[in-house]
Amino acid sequence: MSKNERALPATEVKNRFGRVLGEIARTGGPVIVERGGKPVAVILGVDAFERLRPQAARAKDRRALARAAFGMWAERADIDDAWRARGRARWRSKWSDE
């Protein structure tokens, strides 16, 4: 086990799920869930999960997000990160939180 890795019985994970999620968020996890002393599942933080996903799946998710955000414009080649940054800069508030 790595230093952030921890094994817990399934019953403990169920009873303390909020705490387990907090620990994963704080340490990066993972938590190995055991049943009868044998590992049956792993709970990962989102960052670790994203690193494990194939690049193609991540790209597909970005396209789906773009389509949801921009509708029929999502496939336009000129809509990129720079275009979005320029748009956000135009609408950024001049008010400060002083």
**Kindly report the CA angle at 78 between 72 and 79, in degrees rounded to 5?**
55
List the pLDDT tens digit at each of the 98 positions of the chain: 556 688 999 999 999 999 999 999 888 889 999 999 999 999 988 888 878 777 766 667 766 766 666 666 656 677 777 887 887 777 766 665 54
Res 96: pLDDT = 56
Res 3: pLDDT = 64
Q: pTM of the full predicted structure?
A: 0.53
Res 11: pLDDT = 95
Asked whether residue 83 is assigned to any structural domain, the reply reads: yes
CATH number at 20 reads 3.40.1620.10
Cα 39 from Cα 6, distance rounded (Å)? 11
The beta-strand segments (E) located in the chain are 6-9, 31-35, 38-43
Asked whether residue 66 is assigned to any structural domain, the reply reads: yes
Asked whether residue 1 is assigned to any structural domain, the reply reads: no
